């Protein structure tokens, strides 16, 4: 019943739930992982795209023995890089509706 009511309210307010997109691309790091709302979502391979609900919190890690970096883009614009040996960890973000968050997992610190 609650889910039905929630769906009706969303439709009345203009459609689907507010979502954001997370794109993770493992370039040349050894591994890349992400955590959503405090729960590990596991490792990724290649390039993978995920849908986030507005308000979800998330962070990303990238690992390579001699050092790793993460490049962070918001809505296709480069924002910053995170570095670490052996693991680079991003800040924790809160997803905002309509945003596209992209992270590249790279080697080198």
Distance CA 12, CA 67 (A): 50
Could you tell me the pTM of the whole model? 0.83
Distances in Å between the Cα of 86 and the Cα atoms of 62, 63, 77, 98 are 8, 6, 26, 33
* Residue partners of 13: CB distance under 8 A and separation at least 6: none
Per-residue pLDDT of the chain (109 residues; tens, 9 = 90+): 444 444 444 444 555 669 999 999 999 999 999 999 999 999 999 999 999 999 999 999 999 999 999 999 999 999 999 999 999 999 999 999 999 999 999 997 5
* Residue partners of 7: CB distance under 8 A and separation at least 6: none
* Residue partners of 1: CB distance under 8 A and separation at least 6: none
Each domain of the chain, given as residue ranges in start order, spans 17-107
């Amino acid at each position: 019943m609650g889910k039905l009511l929630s769906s009706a309210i969303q439709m009345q307010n203009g459609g689907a739930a507010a979502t954001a997109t997370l794109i993770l691309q493992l370039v040349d790091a050894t591994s890349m992982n992400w955590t959503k709302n405090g729960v590990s979502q596991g490792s990724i391979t290649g390039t993978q795209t995920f849908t986030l609900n507005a308000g979800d919190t998330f962070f990303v890690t990238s690992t390579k023995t001699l050092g790793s970096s993460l490049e962070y883009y918001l809505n296709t614009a480069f924002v910053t890089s995170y570095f670490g040996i052996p693991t680079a960890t991003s800040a924790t973000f809160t997803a905002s509706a309509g945003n596209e968050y992209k992270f590249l997992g790279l080697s080198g610190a």
